[in-house]
Chain A
Amino acid sequence: MESGIRFSDVSFHYPNKTDVLKHITLTISRGTFVGITGVNGSGKSTLTYLMNGLIPHSVPGTHTGTVFVDGIDTRRKSVSYFSQSVGMVFQNPDFSLFNLTVAEEISFGLHNLKHAVNNKIIENSLGLVGLFGFETRDPQSLSFGEKQKVCLASVLALDVSYIILDEPTAMLDYKSSRQLYALLKKLNTQGKTIVVIEHDTDFLWDFTSETVILDHGSIIRSGKTKDVLSQSTLLTSLGIKKPQGVRV
């Protein structure tokens, strides 16, 4: 059976707007750690919405081409179906938390997907992100970084194969960002496929195995991170920060 996430000539535009994604053909193999970078408005977040069926099922717009998750066309199954294998951490955790306690937040997905719900799973997933003991806290009372970690813990509890994160370090300090990437790397070595949208190419350089550069909805480069991010002239022309490894 085919595994991984495969885009086959995918284009998409929101209602009354020009194409956000143009003829995207890309394969994200299982077990890889993929970074997606590009300037604002290049289509990075939209690309991730295609990876679990949010497009075309929930986000309005016109979509051509096909996206396969483990060989299944995302148009043929619901978002809920794909949530069993694809977990998503959105950019703004303020908009992603809606339960009254952290424990309820973690168990929400478990209930929906009919997984066993027990304290051990909740404690383990919170422990992984460094929030052990936060079970009874109100998610709205946490700091932004803590909220982001609760969102990640909610996905980890579901034990999904693919974890997609949209700019997870946007509101985190440097130390927390590195800790988060170290955790993602660890999950990756345990077999999870990680896809992360990131502006800071230093994190991509240090942690990811593959990188995709998007610009105006098209893939400009994709491949091994070290190869893609070594092209300093290209990065400069696209307005993307060069990683320190290349600058030195």
Chain B
Amino acid sequence: MNLVTLTRLKLIALICFSTLFVLIRNVYGIFLIFGVIIVLTKLHMRRGHLKSRITAIIGVSAFVIVFQLLFNGSVAIQQRLLIGSLTAFRLISLSLLVLLFTETTSPTSIVAVLSFLPKNINLMLTISFSLIPAILQEISAIQIAQQARGLRKGSIIPVLVPLLNRTLTRAEHIAIVLQTRGFE
């Protein structure tokens, strides 16, 4: 099986799994699928990546549970807790599914699978995929420059303005380069 066919199958599986997970109402079913996803991600992914994704999504999940407990006054407290928890499980699972897909699939294959899309949209996707590592490098470079001038480590807000500025400059420049290479 070639890489593009494999990626196509993975993409279809991702869409089916996600839809099933959103539609399913049975509590045991949700736990079962959640368990399968956890096992799959643990098998295929590096520990550090998994940990950082879980850490990022835990806050959002906690917010969803608290929101249900405080504002869904139409049902009993146990019911609110259950609804909040199940929504949180869904969020974590969907996030892990997407992470599993992107970790095990190269951006080139993803773009190749989506080549049926119009030329402009395909180019937009290609540029977005290619710039993710560049923007991560950019964030790191800005943070280092700011820390070298005394900014406390871990401050995110001061990074945003220069990052936005550089990203927009880069976008303008890419638009010019596209034209010089015959893109209309």
Contacts and interface: CB of A to CB of B under 8 A. Distances in A.
Interface residues of A, number: 34
B179 A95 contact: no
A57 B177 CA distance: 13
A139 B130 CA distance: 8
Given A95-B174, A100-B126, A100-B130, A113 B182 contact: yes
A207 interface: no
Contacts of A141: 133
Interface in A127-180: 138-141, 154, 158
A141 B133 CA distance: 9
B75 interface: no
A140 B181 contact: no
Contacts of B130: 97-100, 138-140
Interface stretch (A5-13, A82-90, A219-227, A231-239): A82-90
B183 A80 contact: yes
A100 B107 contact: yes
Given A92-B173, A112-B181, A158-B181, 6 more contacts: A58-B179, A79-B179, A83-B180, A98-B174, A139-B130, A154-B181
Interface of A: 52, 54, 57-59, 78-80, 83-84, 86-88, 90, 92, 94-101, 104, 108-109, 112-113, 138-141, 154, 158
5 closest pairs, A vs B, by CB? A112-B182, A109-B181, A95-B173, A79-B179, A113-B182
20 contacts: A59-B176, A78-B179, A78-B184, A79-B180, A83-B181, A83-B182, A92-B173, A96-B177, A98-B127, A99-B126, A99-B130, A100-B111, A100-B126, A100-B130, A108-B181, A109-B182, A141-B133, A154-B181, A158-B181, A158-B182
